[in-house]
């Protein structure tokens, strides 16, 4: 079973061994080739390389990824950095990871506490289009607030 998450961030590594393991994980998972992060179809997301070999750093460009969210903890082994994620795939959650320590949020509750009053409450879930638009607005605000 797969899960989709919108993810953005960067992680750097002090030790070459940890950096190499992270690169290997991304390559084996199909998210990295030739220094570029890929979408699930194998297409580059960025115009510029996402891996800085000399700086031992990986940039995860803002994108909607398949299954990468389940591996973020493994990418932080030996790494430091910040990653933000959200998911509407069977949930409405988000998280902020700093140096491997994650704070997770129920985005419906987060919206009530952080969005303007007129945008805080979701529309009726039966109004699918309005509900999806509201979720997108909350996700966008979450990314803006957490960066």
Report pLDDT digits (tens) over 112-141.
Answer: 999 999 999 999 889 999 999 999 999 999
Quick: pLDDT tens for 27-54. 999 999 999 999 999 999 999 999 999 9
Angle CA 113–119–125, to nearest 5: 100
The percentage of residues in the chain with a pLDDT greater than 70, rounded to a whole number, is 100
At residue 1, the pLDDT reads 76
For residues 97 and 105, the answer to whether their CB atoms sit within 8 Å is no
At residue 33, the pLDDT reads 97
The percentage of residues in the chain with a pLDDT greater than 90, rounded to a whole number, is 96
In this prediction, residue 81 has a pLDDT band, given cuts at 50, 70 and 90, of: very high
The ranges assigned to domains in the chain are 4-104
- 78 pLDDT above the threshold of 80: yes
Predicted TM-score (pTM) of this structure: 0.94
For residues 13 and 85, the answer to whether their CB atoms sit within 8 Å is no
- 56 pLDDT above the threshold of 80: yes
Quick: pLDDT tens for 17-28. 999 999 999 999
Say how many CA atoms lie within 13 Å of 125 toward its Cβ: 3
**CA–CA distance, 97 with 75 (Å, rounded to integer):** 11
- 91 pLDDT above the threshold of 80: yes
């Amino acid at each position: 079973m797969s899960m989709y998450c919108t993810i953005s961030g960067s992680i750097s590594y002090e030790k070459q061994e940890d950096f190499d393991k992270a690169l290997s994980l991304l390559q084996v998972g199909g998210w990295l080739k030739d220094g570029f992060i890929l979408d699930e179809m194998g297409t580059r997301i960025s115009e510029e390389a996402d891996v800085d070999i000399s700086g031992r750093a990986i940039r995860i460009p803002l994108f909607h990824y398949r299954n990468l969210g389940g591996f973020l903890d493994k990418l932080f082994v030996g790494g430091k950095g910040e990653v933000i994620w959200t998911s509407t795939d069977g949930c409405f959650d988000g998280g902020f990871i700093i140096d491997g320590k994650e704070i997770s949020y129920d985005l419906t509750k987060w919206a009530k506490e952080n969005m303007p009053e007129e945008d805080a409450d979701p529309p009726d879930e039966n109004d699918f289009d309005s509900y999806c638009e509201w979720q997108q607005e909350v996700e966008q605000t979450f990314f803006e607030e957490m960066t």
